[in-house]
Amino acid sequence: MLLDGLDGDVAVLTLNRPDKLNALTDDMVRAFFAALDRVATSRARVLIVTGAGRGFCAGFDLSLADGVAGDDRPETDAWMARQERYAAIVTRLRDIPQPTIAAVNGAAAGAGLGLALGCDTRIGSDKARFNAAFIKVGMSSCDIGVSYLLPRAIGTTRAAEMMLTGRMVEAAEAERIGLIQRITAPDALMDEAQAMAGQIAQNGSLNTWLTKRGMWANLEAGSLAAALELENRTQILIRGTGSLAERAASRGFTRK
């Protein structure tokens, strides 16, 4: 796991197991959490998540399917602990104050799809491809937040088809259905991600954090009234910092 840019506005977290298309191991997941903890307390305003080499993340490393090394608990208990640990990546990505951008450079399969969906937004190179891979090996596609996040990203009809077939969705289709925000050439992917991150970073930290939290919270709101209540309280909270008039003037929206 490589982590760069903590001293600037934009941090970059790179899954660094290119020979295995960045397939996740238990050690990688532990390193991922440690990296997110460092990002959360850093001065960085945005986090970009990407993969080294040809893949974004090929999901769970199936060479570990025989068991959980070093865990003496009953098999089901050990696997449940592992499942919960991997799934918690998604909630940790949501919990850190920085908005997250997945820069998808290649295959995002299985848990890799969940990892990309766990980020606040996604862009991809024309080599990006996505699938709910676990159904292909006799498991459920309901894994690492996919059953919650994918329908919200692309709608229930398309999500059901992806999850039930396990087929690969190529970059052009992913852009068309809203799974990624845009496509870039492979050598332009990180520049595009950095440009988007820079736009976000210009908007300040508290208001950006509360926008991220409010968007995710209101995806679960029970009514429009509940969503408006959260929005109203958030706006008054930020207004209380006293920066509205100052920021509006500095951006040229008002004249003194």
3-state secondary structure 71-134: CCCCHHHHHHHHHHHHHHHHHHHHHCCCCEEEEECCEEECHHHHHHHHCCEEEEECCCEEECHH
Domain assignment present for 188: yes
Asked if residue 174 is part of any domain, the answer here is yes
Shared-domain flag, residues 120 and 213: no
Phi/psi of residue 75, nearest 5 degrees: -55, -45
60 inside domain: yes
Does residue 68 lie in a domain region?
Answer: yes
Q: Is there a single domain that holds both residue 107 and residue 150?
A: yes
Residue 242: per-residue pLDDT: 60
- Domain assignment of residue 256, yes or no: no
Report the pLDDT value the prediction gives residue 127, as an integer from 0 to 100.
Answer: 97
In total, how many domains does the chain have?
Answer: 2
Q: What is the CATH number of the domain that holds 140?
A: 3.90.226.10
Unique residue bearing structure tokens 């937040």: 145
Tell me, yes or no, whether 185 and 213 share the same domain. Answer: no
Are 184 and 84 part of one and the same domain?
yes
CA distance 47 to 11: 5
Q: Residues 55, 170: one domain?
A: yes
Task: State the pLDDT at residue 183.
Answer: 97
Provide the pLDDT for residue 76. Answer: 87
Residues 183 and 214 in one domain: no
Q: Are residues 155 and 245 in the same domain?
A: no
pLDDT confidence of residue 245: 66
What pLDDT score does 241 carry?
A: 77
Per-residue pLDDT of the chain (256 residues; tens, 9 = 90+): 999 999 999 999 999 999 999 999 999 999 999 999 999 999 999 999 999 999 999 999 988 887 777 777 888 898 899 999 999 999 999 999 999 999 999 999 999 999 999 999 999 999 999 999 999 999 999 999 999 999 999 999 999 999 999 999 999 999 999 999 999 999 999 999 999 999 999 998 899 999 999 999 999 999 999 999 999 999 998 888 766 667 666 666 666 5
User: Containing H/E element for 12?
Assistant: strand 10-15
Pair 170, 233 in one domain? no
pLDDT at 42: 96
What three-state secondary structure class fits 171? helix
* Residue 141 and residue 225 in one domain: no
Give the CA radius of gyration of the chain.
19
- Structural domain including 211 reads 206-250
Residue 255, domain member (yes or no):
no
Supply the pLDDT for residue 239: 83
